[in-house]
Structures are given as structure tokens and as C-alpha cells.
Amino acid sequence: MTVNGGRRLTGAIRVSGAKNSVLKLIAAAILTPEACTIDNVPRIADVNLMLRVIEHLGAQTAFDEQGALRIDCSGMNPVDTPYNLVRQMRASISVMGPLLARFGRAKVAMPGGCNIGSRKINLHIKGLRELGVDFNFEHGYIEAKADRLKGADISLAFASVGATENIMMAAVAAEGVTRIENAAREPEIQDLAGFLRALGVPIRGEGTSTLEIEGRAELHGTHYRVIGDRVEAGTYIIAGAITGGDLTVEGIAPRHLGIVLDKLGEIGVNLDTSSESVRVRSSECVCTDVCTLPFPGFPTDLQPQLMVLLSLASGTSILTENVFESRFMFVDELNRMGCDIRIEGHHAIIRGVPGLSGAEVSAPDLRAGAALVLAGLAAEGTTEICDIYHIDRGYERMEEKLQGVGAAITRISTGK
Ligand code: UD1
């Protein structure tokens, strides 16, 4: 991708459906033999991969002319979910919960994951064990079996998104009530709860740290619309702030961006919100300190993008990453573009600089790739970003959306 920086972004960008939600809704469609239809599905590489995972398990999937995704899991067979799929996308392990609920067994390759530090699955395993699942780990596979799932009180040591989701989906078929304490509260968890409710599952407490799920023997199909992507929205809001334009980002519930908008306001970004859009205008930014935390804290998935904005703010900021280890691997690339960032453990010390200069850089992962695009939009001269297949995992037609609001950005190839 080539970006010629220095253009003000003006106009409107519509965000797509939330990647981190739709991937789990696709997995949750396994729970019912009846067909499910999902609207607002982003056409991104991770969705294609998740569809390949469930098709491998026997699902039939198709997009209709309006772009809605139809999933039919009536002929499903819980065969192995192989490493060549799971290694490309860690979210593949979210088929484990629904396969256990529907068939009482699942065999899934142990995940690799993104380049953002070691990502464990101990909390998924612990929670599922408490529902009565037996595990066997051999030859790189997790083999899970349960003759009978039984509701339980499960307390998570950390509010893991993936573990909460896997446990929620398995609990759907457990006898009695499952209570998850210290459950993740992300909007994507709330969306999954909404989808499960639409399938016929009594579920309570989403958006709080205590979730209650009542098991049900039979579930029906549904038609459901996935929420807008808050990370994509946050990325474009920061793009607007960085380029000093007048940009409206549509298709998002601003309450899903609560602390992000608060922090941006504190930095000096000029924001107006309506029920489903955020307008961002030309701003003089000042330094601040930010820590990433599980929702409602500042999302780790917007940490790299915020780093670019803070690099262009006056003064020195400290950004602390609390959710993932080694999520600062893109900092060397930003420094090559003129940023002044020093890493100390899980803190980044960011000294504001007057401007950035375009360079050849490579995207080490999805969100860092987005941050490099933002840096390119602000930089003087040309930035060439390689390995943009990472960006395509989670952003639908990013270059087209940015071109539409005045950016000089061109796709050369996927770089894979
Ligand atoms: C999801 C999102 C990801 C986001 C993250 C945190 C998807 C597809 N991905 O990832 O974009 O950055 O939430 O908001 O939805 N952990 C354990 N043991 C476990 C599980 C997690 O120690 O069993 C640790 C991880 O190593 C990590 C932290 O908990 O350091 C957060 O992980 P988690 O909340 O589970 O994130 P994911 O579901 O993997």
C-alpha cells in the first residue's frame, strides 16, 4: 500500500460490521441445525477463514444478493479443525464451545495466534472443565469430550473475551444454569449474548461482569444484524484527528467507544457524537497517559493507532499496555518515520514530534498495520507499507474508504 501524506480527510466513512463479533456469531451458528442469517457481515479475510473452518466441519454458507450471510449447519460433522486453519486465525478455537454443546466433542488444533505475544487458552480450558468437559492434549491438538454438560459457577481469573465466549456457547447445552463471574463485558460479548438469545437461550447480565446462561435442549435459527466495528471506527476517528480534517464516522454506537472518545477529548480532539456517528474536526493535540484494559477500559486494539496520534501531540505521553505482552513490535517502524518512542517493559514513552516523514515500512500485525497507514496519512512524502495482508484480515476495503474522504492511498498488492 502506498500513502502520500498530508491530505486533510473530509466527508463520511461508514464502518463495517464488527470483526470480533461476527467471527463468534459464525461459530455460534453451529449450535443449531436450523439456518441462521447474519446481516452487516464485513468482507474481510478473517471472515473468509472462519467460513472455511465451519465449511470444513460440514456447514453450508453463502452470501445473498443483499450481502447477508446464510449459514446452514444441519449437516455438520464434528471432525478435526486442522492446524493449517487454526494457525492462521486464533479465533478458530471459538468453535470448541459450540461443537461441545451440539455434539459433546471437539478436536481443535492448538492455536498459534497473532504476533502480539503469547496468548494462552488456560481460562477456556478451566471454564469448560467446570462444565464437565474432559481434555486430552496430544500431537498439537486439543481433544475435548463431554457425555453430559452440567451448569456451574465459573470464576475467571482474568476477564478474557475468548474464554467468556467459549464458555457461554458451551453452557447453552448444559443442564441448569451457568454463572460466569468476572466475565468479559466487551460490546462483542453483548452481541453474542443477543445472538444466543435470538436462538432461544435464556441469558442475563451481558455487559456486566456476571453472566447467567440457562441450558436449552433445542435451539432454532435466526436472522441477526452484527454491531458496527468499534475498532475500525476508532481507527478512522484517529485518522481524522491526525490529518486535521472534518470527518464523520458512521455506523457505530458511540457508547461502544466511551473511554476512547473521553481520552481523545482530553487530548484536544474536537468531537461531536450522534446516536450512530462521530464527527471529528481539526484539533491541536496535547500529551496524556493511557493504559489499555478490558472493556470498558481503553481497548488494546486501538493502542497502536493512538500511539501515532500521541506522537504528533505536544509533550510526553505514557502508554501502558496491560492486555497483551509484546504489543509494541511496530514501534521501530514508527521511529523510522520520525516518531520518538521508547519502550520500557510494558510502557511506551512517547515524545511529541512536529511531523513525520514517509518511509518504507512493514506491517507486523493487523492493528499495527492500521497504525502505519495512519502515520503515512500524517507524514510528509510517500510511505510504502508491505505485508498488508495483515490489514485485510480486519479492515474491509480500507484504501477505498480512505480514498473516498480524500486520502492519497493506493493498493499495490496484498504482499502475501
Ligand atoms: C479478543 C479479540 C482481540 C482483542 C482481545 C482483547 C477476537 C477475535 N479478538 O482476543 O482483538 O485484542 O480480545 O480485547 O475477538 N489469556 C490467558 N488465558 C486464556 C485467555 C486469555 O492468559 O485462556 C490472556 C491472553 O494471553 C491475553 C489476555 O488474556 O494476554 C487477553 O486475551 P483475551 O481477552 O482472551 O483476548 P482474545 O479473545 O484472544
Per-residue model confidence as pLDDT tens digits over 378-413: 999 999 999 999 999 999 999 999 999 999 999 987
Give me the pLDDT at residue 325, please. Answer: 84
Give me the pLDDT at residue 85, please. Answer: 86
Q: What are the cell numbers at 349?
A: 514513552
286 C-alpha to ligand 1 centroid (Å): 31
Model confidence at 170, pLDDT cuts 50, 70, 90, reads: very high
The finding on whether 225 has its CB within 6 A of some atom of ligand 1 is: no
Model confidence at 414, pLDDT cuts 50, 70, 90, reads: low
The finding on whether 323 has its CB within 6 A of some atom of ligand 1 is: yes
- The Cα 385–Cα 373 span in angstroms is 7
Give me the pLDDT at residue 341, please. Answer: 98
Contact 185, 207 (CB under 8 A): yes
121 C-alpha to ligand 1 centroid (Å): 9
Q: Average pLDDT of 296-307? A: 98
- Does residue 282 surpass a pLDDT of 80? no
* Domain residue limits, the chain: 2-16+228-410, 19-225
Q: Which residues belong to the active site?
A: 114
Q: Is the pTM of this model over 0.85?
A: yes
Q: Average pLDDT of 32-44? A: 98
- CATH architecture of structural domain 2-16+228-410: Alpha-beta prism (3.65)
The finding on whether 46 has its CB within 6 A of some atom of ligand 1 is: no
Lowest mean pLDDT among 229-238, 280-289, 329-338: 280-289
Write down the CATH superfamily of domain 19-225. Enolpyruvate transferase domain (3.65.10.10)
Closest residue by Cα to atom 17, ligand 1, is 120
With CA atoms as reference, report the closest residue to 390 among 358, 353, 415, 354. Answer: 415
The finding on whether 160 has its CB within 6 A of some atom of ligand 1 is: yes
161 C-alpha to ligand 1 centroid (Å): 6
- Does residue 172 surpass a pLDDT of 80? yes
Closest residue by Cα to atom 22, ligand 1, is 120
Atom of ligand 1 nearest to the CA of 89: 8
Give me the pLDDT at residue 79, please. Answer: 85
Share of the chain above pLDDT 90, in %: 88
Q: Average pLDDT of 1-8? A: 96
Atom of ligand 1 nearest to the CA of 301: 12
- Tell me the per-residue pLDDT of 79-136, one tens digit each, with 9 for 90 and over: 888 888 888 888 899 999 999 999 999 999 988 655 555 668 999 999 999 999 999 9
Give me the pLDDT at residue 66, please. Answer: 86
The finding on whether 326 has its CB within 6 A of some atom of ligand 1 is: no
Arithmetic mean of pLDDT over the chain: 95
255 C-alpha to ligand 1 centroid (Å): 22
